[in-house]
């Protein structure tokens, strides 16, 4: 049996390769992919060749430990249906809709313990948002918003939109978001006057007025290193800045020589592969996935799917995201 797998082969080059599937192991299942989601931040770094060569693609997910080097099969938001089961696998898995952290491809073989059953209330399209929703849950947990706080979210790509949507459920005094693309500002869950353009000359002044002299809690989710300086300028004394962006090999020039030295601002590194140590006794990955599934049911992020491409059109999809990001929010591949 053959499968089609998407490979990043060089900067700004992708290739769909037909490969033979290995024999199904007794403890494995064969999944036929229905749809998969592009992660605009991480996959753009891979597509543009701006990733660090000296680290694993992911140290936690077993299918993503090969390291960042071309050719690279990458992606981590696959939804499909179990089509075959090994002789030692419970037959109840057959026909089940499942989610897996797998690269973009038409089929894959894995063990059931690496699959997540999709709740009956969610469509395949919605289930593709699970990794980004888990990221948003992790970001909010790391930020630990407090009743009545003033909160700022820089970046309204899909992770920023999901994070802002979760924060919008809290009894905050004010929630302000920012993105340089009008489509994303218009999609933000806050009132339009509270979603600002960070490139506008008056951005910092407007944000400070809305935040009443500064945010207690700021999330930097734009993927733009320069936004860290906006975060430092707009966060008040003893505030927290949660940094969820991954900059890859982009240079980060953070200006720490001004008020930061006396500000007691906390910079928090947040990444979804692990759980904050202070939560580990009460939270594990299973509990966080459960929270993410429930959040998907409430927020219904499929409204942010702007494009669908057949996997054979992958080159067009990445070119669009690279050259015209202002036109996109979430892109899905169909199979």
Summarised one tens digit per residue, pLDDT across range 311-326 is: 999 999 999 999 999 9
pLDDT at 251: 77
Kindly indicate the confidence band of residue 56, based on its pLDDT and cuts at 50, 70 and 90.
low
- Which residues 6+ apart lie within 8 Å of 17 measured at CB? 4, 5, 6, 7
The model carries a pTM of 0.94
pLDDT at 55: 55
Burial class for 262, CB neighbours closer than 10 Å (0-12, 13-18, 19+): exposed
pLDDT at 250: 80
pLDDT at 260: 86
With beta carbons less than 8 A apart as the criterion, state whether 75 and 66 touch.
no
Mean pLDDT over the full length of the chain:
94
Burial class for 267, CB neighbours closer than 10 Å (0-12, 13-18, 19+): middle
Mean pLDDT, range 229-254, rounded to an integer? 91
- Exposure on the CB side of residue 11, measured as CA atoms within 13 A: 5
pLDDT digits (tens, 9 = 90+) for 91-119: 999 999 999 999 999 999 999 999 999 99
Q: Are strands 330-334 and 305-310 parallel, antiparallel or unpaired?
A: parallel
Mean pLDDT, range 223-243, rounded to an integer? 95
With beta carbons less than 8 A apart as the criterion, state whether 137 and 292 touch.
yes
What percentage of the chain carries pLDDT values higher than 70? 96
- Report all structural domains of the chain as residue ranges with CATH numbers, in order of start: 2-118+300-334 (3.90.180.10), 139-277 (3.40.50.720)
Kindly indicate the confidence band of residue 172, based on its pLDDT and cuts at 50, 70 and 90.
very high
pLDDT at 249: 76
pLDDT tops 60 at residue 57: no
pLDDT tops 80 at residue 85: yes
SS (H, E, C) the chain: CEEEEEEEEECCEEEEEEEECCCCCCCCEEEEEEEEECCHHHHHHHHHCCCCCCCCCCCCCHHHCCCCCCCECCCCCEEEEEEEECCCCCHHHCCCEEEECCCCECEEEECHHHCEECCCCCCHHHHCCHHHHHHHHHHHHHHCCCCCCEEEEECCCHHHHHHHHHHCCCCCCEEEEECCCHHHHHHCCCCHHHEECCCCCCHHHHHHHHCCCCEEEEEECCCCCCHHHHHHHHEEEEEEEEECCCCCCCCCCCCCCCCHHHHCCEEEECCCCCCCHHHCCCCCHHHHHHHHHHHHHHHCHHHHEEEEEEHHHHHHHHHHHHHCHHHCCEEEEEC
pLDDT tops 90 at residue 51: no
Mean pLDDT, range 260-276, rounded to an integer? 93
pLDDT at 256: 86
What residues pair up with 306 in beta bridges, in sequence order? none
pLDDT at 246: 87
Kindly indicate the confidence band of residue 259, based on its pLDDT and cuts at 50, 70 and 90.
confident
pLDDT at 12: 97
pLDDT tops 80 at residue 252: no
pLDDT at 66: 57
């Amino acid at each position: 049996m053959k499968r089609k797998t998407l490979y990043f082969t060089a900067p700004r080059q992708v290739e769909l390769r037909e490969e033979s599937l290995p024999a199904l192991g007794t403890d494995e299942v064969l999944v036929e992919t229905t749809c998969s989601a592009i992660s605009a931040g991480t996959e753009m770094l891979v597509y543009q060749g701006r990733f660090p060569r000296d680290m694993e693609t992911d140290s936690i997910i077993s299918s993503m430990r090969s390291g960042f080097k071309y050719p690279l099969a990458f992606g981590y938001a696959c939804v499909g249906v179990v089509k075959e089961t090994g002789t030692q696998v419970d037959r109840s898995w057959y026909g089940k809709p499942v989610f897996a952290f797998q690269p973009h491809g038409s089929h894959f073989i894995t063990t059931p313990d690496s699959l997540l059953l999709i709740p009956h209330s969610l469509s395949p399209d919605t289930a593709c948002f699970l990794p980004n929703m888990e990221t948003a849950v992790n970001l909010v947990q790391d930020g630990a918003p407090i009743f009545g706080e003033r909160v700022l979210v820089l970046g309204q790509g899909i992770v920023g939109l999901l994070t802002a949507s979760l924060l919008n459920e809290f009894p905050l005094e004010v929630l302000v978001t920012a993105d340089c693309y009008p489509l994303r500002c218009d999609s933000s869950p806050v009132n339009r006057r509270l979603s600002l353009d960070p490139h506008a000359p008056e951005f910092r002044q407007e944000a400070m007025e809305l935040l009443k002299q500064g945010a207690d809690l700021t999330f930097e989710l734009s993927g733009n290193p320069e936004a860290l300086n906006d975060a430092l300028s707009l966060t008040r004394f003893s505030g927290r800045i949660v940094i969820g962006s991954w900059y890859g090999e982009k240079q980060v020039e953070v200006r720490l020589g001004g008020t930061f030295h006396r500000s007691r601002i906390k910079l928090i590194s947040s990444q979804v592969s692990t759980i904050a140590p202070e939560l580990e006794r009460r939270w594990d990955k299973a509990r966080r996935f459960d929270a993410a599934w429930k959040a998907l049911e409430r927020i219904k992020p499929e409204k942010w799917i702007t494009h669908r491409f057949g996997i054979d059109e992958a080159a067009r999809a990445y070119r669009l995201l690279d050259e015209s990001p202002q036109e996109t929010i979430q892109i899905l591949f169909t199979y």
